[in-house]
Structure 1
Amino acid sequence: MDADTSRALLSRAISRVAQRDHDALKYVYRHTSAKLFGVCLRILNDREEAEDVLQDVYLTVWNRADRFDQEKASPITWLVSIARNRSIDRLRKRGGRVIADVEEAEALADGAPLASTLLEDEDDRRRLEGCIDQLDPRHAGALRTAFFEGVTYDALAQALKVPLGTMKSWIRRSLISLRGCLEA
């Protein structure tokens, strides 16, 4: 899928968000959250604050999607400006100074895969979820938390009240089981 098609799909999704379509908001989030998080993080230089601001960004998108005009800006430019403004507002509240321009935000690498890649990988994702569901529920939960939420093994071990070595073993055995399931 080329950039024009991706832009058109994202524009349509934002239009559907304006009509209170939850699935459209999920689509917008999946296809833009990595880039917008990068914008927030670069401005705020604090992961937790950037996550909070990112939540505010999507709340703003939900409430103001009807204001998006694809004739005035591309969808990603509109979203980046919201992320930038929310981040600057947060930075000003804590007394910091702004160090990045919106032009720099546009140039940030977007770590998110293209929409076409996401569509192609949907079957793989379902297969992976099926394999994870076959794991012991505690191990599956730990694996999801570690890899999908970025929580450290140490933090997981403390949260589940197990030794760190046990947590590492759970994750390692789970990964081996997943590899076997996915290769079958």
Structure 2
Amino acid sequence: MTASIPLPLLLRRIEYQDEAAFSEFHGVTSPLLKAFLTRMLKDAWNCEEVMQDVYLYVWQNAAAYSPVRGTPLTWLYTLGRSRALDSWRKNKRSSANVEFDDYISGNAAFVVRGEIADVWSHDRIRESVALLPPARKQILDLAFAEGYTHSEIAAATGLPLGTIKTWIRSALGQIKGMMLPGQPGQGIKSLPFAA
């Protein structure tokens, strides 16, 4: 579909809440934006959600468009890309809650945030985590219960990123060792980083 009025003029009319202009703008640009976002997100639900956010922004902030900075489609793609990345980060963060036993075994089954309490309720995991130094417990809680990325944990704790990664890896290794048949916590005191 081709616009009967140039897109920059439609945006100017949208500034004044012209519903007909918005409808035409949406009709012309939505197939293009949808194709662009579908390639980025690969998920129809997220794509529709992002498109809704973009067009709501256009309706409320059409005056933010500046022809000096590019065409209306470039502006729309930029808005879409920004919101798609936000959506991807949000979904990535919520899927960062991994069950410890699956993570340790290498299955890395993802769970929703509400189910993380079930993970911590596993007796052997709780016993194993209880034997970790307090700093390691805090780091694991931020990573798995709160869904923080390694960088966010480093910023929150003031520790170097490399230290965070090492502590998480070593704590998971300790838990894995304690999860093996035998007494939980057996041998943890012999590890040099168990302080």
**Aligning the two structures, in what range does the TM-score lie when normalised by the shorter sequence?**
0.3 to 0.5
| Higher Cα Rg, which structure | 2
Q: Which has the higher helix share?
A: 1
TM-score normalized by the length of structure 2: 0.44
TM-score normalized by the length of structure 1: 0.47
Higher RCO, Cα 8 Å, sep 6+ = 1
